[in-house]
């Protein structure tokens, strides 16, 4: 799959994908005979996972550490699992806090609705 098709599949810009390749998030991109990037389904799955990590608040530095360990192979499975467990725990805490904020907003909205009814 070429860059434009891959960008469309991932929802990321070609610029972002080239940046990810440059900094090492996507270090093993194949090239075709003319030197153009040739993305695979495995690359697509990886970028979707990276996007999920970013959307759940993992800093790019953490993603780079994880990507570096991934590139080293199965000997880093325990380390990668630990990184994901720590990220999961941080995400759970953030969700709990967000739920509290949502409840506070709902309470305030109900207060305003009650005032209008009286």
Q: What is the pLDDT of residue 52?
A: 98
Q: What is the pTM (predicted TM-score) of this model?
A: 0.86
Segment 19-36 shows an average pLDDT of 91
Both structure tokens of 89: 């725990």
Q: What is the pLDDT of residues 86-100, one digit of tens each?
A: 999 999 999 999 999
Q: What is the pLDDT of residue 35?
A: 87
Give the Cα separation of 81 and 78 in Å (integer).
5
pLDDT above 90 covers a percentage of the chain that reads 91
The fold of the 3-117 domain, in CATH, is: Multidrug-efflux Transporter Regulator; Chain: A; Domain 2 (1.10.1660)
Q: What is the pLDDT of residues 62-77, one digit of tens each?
A: 999 999 999 999 999 9
In 3D, which of 57, 41, 47, 54 has the Cα closest to residue 20? 47
């Amino acid at each position: 799959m070429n860059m434009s098709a891959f960008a469309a599949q991932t929802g990321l810009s070609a610029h972002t994908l080239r940046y990810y390749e440059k900094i090492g998030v996507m270090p093993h991109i194949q090239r075709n005979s003319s030197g153009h990037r040739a993305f695979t389904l495995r690359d697509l799955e990886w970028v979707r996972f990276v996007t999920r990590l970013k959307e759940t608040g993992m800093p790019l530095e953490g993603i780079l550490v994880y990507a570096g360990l991934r590139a080293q192979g199965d000997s880093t499975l325990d380390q990668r699992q630990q990184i994901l467990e720590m990220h999961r725990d941080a995400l759970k805490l953030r969700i709990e806090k967000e739920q509290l904020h949502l409840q506070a907003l709902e309470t305030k909205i109900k207060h305003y609705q009650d005032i209008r009814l009286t």
